[in-house]
Structure 1
């Protein structure tokens, strides 16, 4: 029976040694610029199936403090138009749209795993623009500066984790909507 566990122990030791040699491929402390683009979406803060879609772009100044934690001031843009809701049970004038420039700061916690590092981000920011949330529950049209709460989940990919694929969201409670995006990004080292 003890000979059965020998291959398992050998595999665990091999993986541990391999992981320790490849630790250079983990997130490195330092400063970076990150550019991301993707498809932007707008949704109401309810279970109503009304949405908007469009364009999303964001730039970040990244300061990685450790291999697993970094601070990320950001600025970006989201522009969404009403989706075709003709096949829905709601009238055509129900819509959720956003045309806004946003900026703020967030923190990222990442698992320092070689080649594929899952991460989670959260922060606070402000959006400047116009927001429209017209649903059976809400009739909100706002322009100006609104506070938002950003959060993201995704994967940092590559040997140096300089490619980024993720879902990012901005909750605008005053407009009773949130914006989301599926985005792809790339980081440029500044050091």
Structure 2
């Protein structure tokens, strides 16, 4: 009974999702996307893994990014990007601890590739690539004391959804892993894209 019900539900979902994919797939061609959202930064938790004295240190702030989209197929595209992330840590000092902080004030440049499921109305995606962060970084935790104004390599990773009949609205969680600064910055952001050809 349960397996029959499960099969019935899967058939309904499959029929709904793939009944008319031509109307809702991501487009092939060139576009521009602008995103804005809540910026965040946190210490690289793996650096202090197993250390009983390690504490969670996070920062919040502002994020904005623009992308030029090369839509190669309906499920794959390349995206050079430029953005900005600015975060700071709330100045609390609990339990007479030092003022631990993780802050980022950086301009982001790079390129990434996206794989998207070409599903009507709601299309999930994942993307990654390589880039550089240029600016000021500070990571101060019980096991890390890093503070520099420099350019650092980062690895972007995003998960999200494209929404609407043209998939021009985007909601995503974006992360920029910056190993040299022992931190991860990123955002919870919303974006809008529009074709230019």
TM-score (norm 1): 0.88
Aligned to 2:67: 60
Query: 1:90 & 1:144 partners in 2: Cα distance?
Result: 31
Query: 1:174 & 1:14 partners in 2: Cα distance?
Result: 45
Task: Say if 2:35 and 2:190, in contact at 8 Å, map to a contact too.
Answer: yes
Aligned to 1:129: 135
Distance 1:74 1:17, change over 3 A: closer
Aligned to 2:51: none
Paired residues, what number? Answer: 184
| Structure 1 portions without partners, runs of 5+ | none
Aligned to 2:49: none
Aligned to 1:24: 23
Deviations 1:80-138 (A, max 9, x none): 11124434x57252100000001000000000000000000000000100100000010
Task: Say if 2:91 and 2:99, in contact at 8 Å, map to a contact too.
Answer: no
Shift of 1:143: 1.1
| Structure 2 portions without partners, runs of 5+ | 46-53
How large is the Cα RMSD of the aligned pairs?
2.3
Distance 1:90 1:49, change over 3 A: farther
Query: 2:141 & 2:12 partners in 1: Cα distance?
Result: 58
TM-score (norm 2): 0.86
Query: 1:159 & 1:17 partners in 2: Cα distance?
Result: 14
Tell me if 1:99 matches 2:105.
yes
Shift of 1:24: 2.4
